[in-house]
Amino acid sequence: MKKTSSLFISFEGLDGSGKSLQASELCQHLKSIGRHVLLLHEPGSTPLGEEIARLLKWGSGFTFDPLVELFLFNAARSQLVKNVIYPGLKKGKIIVVDRFVDSTLAYQGYGRGLDLQAVKTVNDTAINSCLPDLSVLIDIPVEIAHKRMKSEKDRFETEHADFHRRIRDGYLEISEAEPERWLVVDGRLDSATISQIIWEHVIRRLDHLED
């Protein structure tokens, strides 16, 4: 392996699915074979993104319309793409991001009920064609995800179960529409098995890129 090709990977799923752990595990595997990896999260990973995340998840005294959520998430995303993701990819790094553009389609589109095409249009403007090469969906039933959530829940995690069911259904529909981009993994499997499935898939992708 030449170890020069950049790769952009996103991790998606319900809160409690284990996606953050798997994103971190993948980065450790990649570093172990000498790859330059950057682990990011959304919203965040820039000063503006962190402030927007605080407001959206934990801000008190605010009422957020779904359309406001859509624009705020994409404001943070646009900053992240321009200042961090694009520069990293140009340097040949592997970028791993915990949530990206598909989260907004799932949460604000399917979950909140915003027009899907309108959400896609705003998303596309924010990312400026910077779509992940691979998106990993850790799929898990809502009931199991809720049991795994930490005791201190943010504004999205405290939403009713139907909201999260719509999000899960949305993720499955999104991934089915673009099977070449998505790897869907059963989140009920043990963590080590999930990690191995993802690792083997990513290695095949890298080998294909660098042949």
Domains in the chain, CATH or no CATH each: 7-210 (3.40.50.300)
Digit-coded pLDDT (tens) for 70-127 = 999 999 999 999 999 999 999 999 999 999 999 999 999 999 999 999 999 999 999 9
Digit-coded pLDDT (tens) for 16-41 = 999 999 999 999 999 999 999 999 99
Closest by CA to 64, choosing from 20, 14, 111, is 111
CA atoms within a 13 Å half-sphere pointing along the CA-CB vector of 127: 17
- Cα separation, 193 vs 22, in Å, equals 11
Whole-model pTM above 0.85?
Answer: yes
Residue 134: band (very low, low, confident or very high) from pLDDT cuts 50, 70, 90: very high
- Has residue 192 got a pLDDT over 80? yes
